[in-house]
Structure 1
Amino acid sequence: MAWLYLFIAGVFEVVWAFAMKQSLGFTKPLATTITVIAMFVSFWLLAIAMRTIPLGTAYTIWTGIGAVGAFVLGIWFLGEPVTPQRVIAAAFIVTGLVLMKTAS
C-alpha cells in the first residue's frame, strides 16, 4: 500500500508543479488554491509512504515522478521544447527510478 501512496503523492507533485506554473507567481487565485491543496496532499501521502519505505528511496521516487511528469506536461500542454538532451535526461531519471525501486 505504501508504494501506491508514494505513486499518488508523485502524481500530486506533478499537479502542484503544473498549477504553480499556471498561477503566474501566485497571482491567479484558482491555480494558487490548486497548488496549495495538491502540495498538502502530496506531502501527506509522501509522509504516509515513508512510514515503511526508506527515506532515500521514497524521496528519490517522489521527486522523479514529479520531474518526469512535469517534463511531459510541459511538452504536452505548454509547448515546451523536446530536444534530444531533455529526452535523454528524462530517460536517465526513469532509469534511476527503476534502479532505486528494484534496490529496495
Structure 2
Amino acid sequence: MPKSKEFLESSDDSDTEKPVAKKSKKEGKKKSKESSSKDEDPNRFELSRTRFVNVREFKGKVLIDIREYYEAGGEMKPGKKGISLSVDQWKKLKEVVDDVDDSIKELQ
C-alpha cells in the first residue's frame, strides 16, 4: 500500500476502509506559524529585534540562553551565535553587573 494514502476504518464493523484526505504541507506549516506567533513563550525575553534571552531545560539542567535569532519562513529561529549559561554562571553574572556598569561609565 502506498505511504502517501491514509486510511480510516469505518465506524461500522465491516472490513472496508475509507481514504482520508491529507492536508497539504503548506496548510500544516501555516497552522504552526500561526500558533507559534500567537503563543508567545513566557520564558523568552526580547533584548532587541534579533536577540533574546531564553530560560530552558536541556538534559535535565536549566540554562539561560542568550542568542541571536534569524527569520526563516516568517518565523524567528535560534542561530549559532549565542551563549548558554548555567544557573551558577547566571548568578555570578548578576553579582558583577554593578562592576560592569562602572566599567561602562569609565569608557564612555
TM-score of Structure 1 vs Structure 2, range by shorter chain: under 0.3
Larger Rg: 2
* TM-score, normalisation: structure 1: 0.24
* TM-score, normalisation: structure 2: 0.24
Larger relative helix fraction? 1
Which structure has more relative contact order (CA 8 Å, sep 6+)? It is 1
